[in-house]
Chains A and B, each alone.
Chain A
Amino acid sequence: MDDGASPRPVDPRGSDGARPGRHADAGPDDEPLAAKVRKDIWVLGAAVGVFGVSFGVLATTAGLSLAQACVMSVLVFTGASQFAVIGVLGTGGSLVSALGSALLLAARNAAYGVAMAPTLSRRSLGRRLLAAQLVIDESTAMATAQPGRRAREQAFWATGVAVFVCWNVGTVLGAVAGDAVGDPEALGLDAAFPAGFVALAVPHLRSRQGRVAAVCGTAIALALIPLAPAGVPIVAAALGVVPAVLFAGGPPSERAPSAGAAPR
């Protein structure tokens, strides 16, 4: 990416320790992304690529043309939503319910966008509008697991681009080559994503606030699975941050590394 040497605009949040009494994050904030994280990012990308193939196969089976499948993967670029659309259409559901399901599943990206905003706040509007397309589960999880701002931003772009490339190459392969690739679920790859997110959630659980948010978010999601349409349980889990802030305001030393975005 760029960064580092370029003169920085004044950080409106003062997280560079300019204000007295604030935590100086200059050290970890300037650390670049660790090499082993770059390797992890491509592991995640590879798993996404296999699902891209699966999406390409199912999309054409559900009646989308090759061009439509590819345009959807480039422009919609939200795996869960895309699978929902073709799942509903493929089983004879209405277009309205297909789009409704897709948007409920895409709604969590708005919350991810809020979480990523402080990390990308120094970038130009054009750059942030480009970044917006890459705001998904994987990029947000990988980015917010990093200790400093610079590593977070690099992880966001690297993961976003890796997943974008793998997902779209996979879609083309699946739509063209068809069923030759087999079922990703037979390989257990659907379990690869929650597993990866478990590993990436760990840094968020180091603070008491993070743990309270995690427990509350998980409880909300589990409670809503039988009650609400797919997508809602995850979006609603965002409310888990409210009790965390209200009732678990720990001392500054307890804050999560991700909260490097949050000077205290």
Chain B
Amino acid sequence: MSWWALLGLAAAAYGLKAVGLVVLGPRAVEGPALRLAALLPAALLPALVVVNTFAGDRRLVLDARAVGLAVAVLATWRRAPFVVVVGLAAGATALVRAVG
């Protein structure tokens, strides 16, 4: 990988972050736009969860990660502390992989 490609990628990646935080975000200072902005994490975080859990190479897959997610949902529902949620999910996934 050339240094130019790397620096170009860095510039583009930074640009995407900055355009949201510094250009688009501050325009949503009131009214419906702000409400949309405030709701974005509610839409994005669960999507991130399902993509990180069920996405294979352009297909849906059900593997050890799904067990980890199920354990995480259960632990969260039981109001387990953050560390416990993360630890149990990782442990369950590792266990399924070790056995399977």
CB distance B6 to A95 under 8 Å? no
CB distance from A252 to the nearest CB of B (A): 11
State A95–B18 Cα separation when bound (angstroms): 24
* Residues on the A chain within 8 Å of B37, using CB: 114-115, 117-118, 261-262
CB distance B30 to A13 under 8 Å? yes
* Residues on the A chain within 8 Å of B18, using CB: 113, 129, 132
CB distance B42 to A117 under 8 Å? no
A154 lies within 8 A of chain B by Cβ: no
CB distance B44 to A108 under 8 Å? yes
Known contacts A117-B28, A140-B41, A201 near B14 by CB under 8 Å: no
B12, B51, B81, B88: which has the most chain A beta carbons within 10 Å? B51
* Residues on the A chain within 8 Å of B89, using CB: 188, 191-192, 194-195
Binary interface encoding of chain B residues 1-19 relative to chain A, with 1 for a CB under 8 A from any of its CBs, else 0: 1110111111011101111
* Residues on the B chain within 8 Å of A75, using CB: 6-7, 10, 13-14
CB distance B90 to A192 under 8 Å? yes
State A233–B55 Cα separation when bound (angstroms): 10
CB distance B48 to A116 under 8 Å? no
State A211–B2 Cα separation when bound (angstroms): 45
B36 lies within 8 A of chain A by Cβ: yes
A71 lies within 8 A of chain B by Cβ: yes
B29 lies within 8 A of chain A by Cβ: yes
Binary interface encoding of chain B residues 21-59 relative to chain A, with 1 for a CB under 8 A from any of its CBs, else 0: 110111011101011111111111111111111110011
CB closest chain-B residue, reference A37:
B82
CB distance B21 to A135 under 8 Å? yes
Q: Which residues of B contact A (CB under 8 A)?
A: 1-3, 5-10, 12-14, 16-22, 24-26, 28-30, 32, 34-55, 58-60, 64-65, 67-69, 71-73, 75-76, 81-83, 85-95, 97-98
Q: List 11 A-B contacts (CB under 8 A).
A: A85-B1, A109-B13, A113-B22, A114-B37, A114-B40, A201-B42, A214-B43, A259-B35, A262-B38, A263-B30, A264-B35
Q: Which residues of A contact B (CB under 8 A)?
A: 12-13, 36, 39-40, 43-44, 47, 63-64, 68, 71-72, 75-78, 81, 85, 89, 95, 98-99, 102-103, 106-118, 120-121, 125, 128-129, 131-133, 135-137, 140-141, 144, 185-202, 204-205, 207, 209-211, 213-218, 220-222, 225-227, 229-230, 233-234, 237-242, 244-245, 256, 258-259, 261-264
